[in-house]
Structure 1
Amino acid sequence: EGRVQGRHEGEVRLLAKQLSRRFGVLPEWVGERLAQGSEDELQVWAEAVLDAPTLAAVFGEASH
């Protein structure tokens, strides 16, 4: 379980870096979403960051 948690935290950190590089300073809600995201959600969001026009669109939302 420690490895799973460590991998999840690593994925969250990497995705947060990608998001901040693409969209600038991240609002607090993004960190909360990332921390609560499942492994599958993190993968979907990691792919979405490449094409999404807005930060909210990465998470499948029209706006936040």
Structure 2
Amino acid sequence: MATVGRKKAVVDLPKWKFHGTFAWIVWMLIHIMSLVGYRNKVVAFLDWMSNYFTYDRPLGLIIRPYNRKE
């Protein structure tokens, strides 16, 4: 299983293969259900929904200060 983008994913299981929005929903549900604890599931789901509706994209960069040697 892999997400490709917004409402796009692929699922390749031994008996089933599908893609698109349905695969994206399956990916989301399986990942939510694999979290431990009800509170973690709710917080993750609300965070994902917030990001979905606000188009908020987390920035995955690690920025280090530039140490200029003089």
TM-score bracket for this pair, using the shorter chain length:
0.3 to 0.5
Q: 1 or 2 for the larger relative contact order (CA 8 Å, sep ≥6)?
A: 1
More helix by share: 1
TM-score, structure 2 normalization: 0.35
TM-score, structure 1 normalization: 0.37
More strand by share: 2
| Structure (1 or 2) with the larger CA radius of gyration | 2
